[in-house]
Amino acid sequence: MGKILGLTGDEATAEAMRQINPDVLAAYPITPQTETVQRFSEFVAEGIVATEMVRVESEHSAMSACLGAAAAGARAMTATSANGLALMWEICYIAASYRLPIIMAVVNRALSGPINIHCDHSDSMGARDAGWIQIYSENCQEAYDNLIQAIRIAEEEKVRLPVMVTFDGFIISHAMERVETLEDDEVSQFIGKYKNAYSLLDVDSPVTYGPLDLYDYYFEHKRQQIEAMEISLEVIQKIGREFGDLSGRYYDLMGNCHLEGAELVIVAAGSTAGTVKSVVDELRERGEKVGLLKMRVFRPFPAKQIAEVLRGVKAVAVLDRSVSFGAQGGPIFMEIRSALFDEIKPPAVVNYIYGLGGRDIGVDEIKRVYKNLERITHTKKVDELVGYLGLRE
């Protein structure tokens, strides 16, 4: 087994990257991702990684360079946050459409404006249609574990989609936690070698990347991407099992949930899931039938699995740390509601928007949510479909 280290989220990411040892890393600094790139630069300077580091002049170029590198048959990684991801947005779609297994750590931070450097999920949620697999991490350990699994998920022959692994900015990225790391060679063995069947550097078999699709082919190319996303559900589960066999920490489409006998469930992604868990433990001691469903994989959305685990639950509160302006609620809420639509006896589902721009959320708010869910179960009435936690009215 590897070491047990005290690492912040950024440091854990850098450590995972060091062990993955990508051929190319192209990144641009942005708070709160900066520590990752800084730490990794030190590895490069010391010569302990083989990585060619491209210190690009913008995030747009970061993703462009990663795309070029991946098309050239190299393992490419990057990291960013918020507006950095927003600037890459155009190229993210292209990278997914070219089926390039680029791995990106997204340190969740609010999208401007006004400019805010603290945590919320608006950045990765904003990119949810880009065609990337999205995996949310609760803590530093998960950030480390998810990045390593991401390589295998992305490079799987039938998948070949880029993967973004997220974790909360500042809350996780800058907080030191206990992280169990694997040995260097355990990681190398687990991820294996990257083989791109169609590399630009294979000059004897020239390929063309990025042609002009007219109306007669674009749709078919998109359908291929949809198929790959479908297939990735199974692959993510498979890799999660393999990783568990190696490390003892098993992963599935949803995070480790606490749903045994639960009637009132809170769904949350990111570090808040940890807060909810501590409330769940406390309330259960008092005999309350409460539970937590931790979102892990958001894209592809594991609708079937979520509908299964929520069967028999009476009321669900979905916590969203982002807004979709003009929509009927936050992104996770809408997907969950849709997943439960066909259930014969679906639970009542309500939404709470919280934590925008780094607004803190504590155990008291979570307890209030459970109280509200209880009231909904007894009165069989939903007063407010979408509520806000921690907002000053």
Partner 1 sequence: MPSLKVLSRKKELLTGGHRLCAGCGASIIVRQVLMAAEDPVVMSSATGCLEVATTIYPFTAWRIPWIHCAFENSASTLSGVEAAYRSLKRQGKIDRTIKFIAFGGDGGTYDIGLQALSGVLERGHNLLYICYDNQAYMNCLSTSSLIMTEDGVKRITEVKEGDEVYAFDQKTYQLVLKKCIGIFDNGIKDVYELTTLHHSIKATANHPFLVLKRNGRGKKNNFVWQTISEMKMGDEIVVLKNLDEGESFKFDFNKVKKGDYKVNRFKNFLIDNKYFEIEKVRDIKLVRPEPTLDLRVEGEHNFIADGIVVHNTGIQRSSATPEGAATTTSPVGKAIPEGKQRPRKDLTRIVAAHDAPYVAQANPAYYNDLIKKVQKALSTEGPTFINVLSPCPRGWRYDPSLSIQIAKLAVLTGVWPLYEVEKGQYRITYRPKKRHPLREWLESQGRFRHLLRDENKGIVERLEKQVEEKEKSLLALAGEETSA
Partner 2 sequence: MKEKGWRDIPWGGLILEEGNAEKYKTGDWRTHRPVWDERKCTHCLLCWVYCPDSSIIVKEEKFKQFDYDHCKGCGICSTQCPTKAIHMEEETKFALKEGGK
Q: Where does this chain bind partner 1 (CB under 8 A)?
A: 23-24, 26, 50-52, 54-58, 60-61, 64-74, 76, 90-91, 94, 199-203, 206-215, 217
Which run of H or E residues covers position 219? helix 218-247
Among 129, 183, 202, 213, binds partner 2 (CB under 8 A): 213
CA distance 76 to 68: 9
CA distance 151 to 57: 26
First to last CA, the chain: 51
CA distance 281 to 275: 10
What is residue 220's DSSP assignment? H
Q: What mask, x for binding partner 2 by CB under 8 A, covers residues 278 to 307?
A: ------------------------------
Structure tokens at 245: 């066999």
- What are the CA-CA distances from residue 132 to residues 37, 99, 160 (Å)? 22, 10, 10
Structure tokens at 225: 């991407």
Q: How far is the CB of 216 from partner 2 (least distance, A)?
A: 6
Size of the site for partner 2 (CB under 8 A): 23
Q: How far is the CB of 109 from partner 1 (least distance, A)?
A: 23
Q: How far is the CB of 90 from partner 1 (least distance, A)?
A: 6
Q: How far is the CB of 219 from partner 1 (least distance, A)?
A: 12
CB 33 within 8 A of CB 108: no
| Nearer Cβ to partner 1 (61/225) | 61
Cβ count within 10 A of residue 241: 13
CA distance 250 to 157: 22
Among 3, 55, 178, 223, binds partner 2 (CB under 8 A): 223
Q: How far is the CB of 68 from partner 1 (least distance, A)?
A: 3
SS3 91: helix
Task: Kindly state whether residue 379 participates in binding partner 2, applying the rule CB under 8 A.
Answer: no
Cβ count within 10 A of residue 212: 6
| Nearer Cβ to partner 1 (58/328) | 58
Which residues between 226 and 255 bind partner 2 (CB under 8 A)?
Answer: 227-228
Task: Kindly state whether residue 341 participates in binding partner 2, applying the rule CB under 8 A.
Answer: no
Cβ count within 10 A of residue 287: 6
Q: Beta strand pairing status for 133-136 and 297-299?
A: antiparallel
Task: Kindly state whether residue 160 participates in binding partner 2, applying the rule CB under 8 A.
Answer: yes
Q: What mask, x for binding partner 2 by CB under 8 A, covers residues 82 to 101?
A: ---------------xxxx-
| Nearer Cβ to partner 1 (71/369) | 71
Q: How far is the CB of 76 from partner 2 (least distance, A)?
A: 15
b/e map of 174-191 (b: 16 or more CB within 10 Å)? beebebebbeeebbeebb
Q: Which does 67 bind (CB under 5 to 8 A by kind): partner 2, partner 1, none?
A: partner 1
Q: How far is the CB of 365 from partner 1 (least distance, A)?
A: 43
Interface residue list for partner 2 (CB under 8 A) = 97-100, 160, 198, 205-211, 213, 216-217, 219-221, 223-224, 227-228
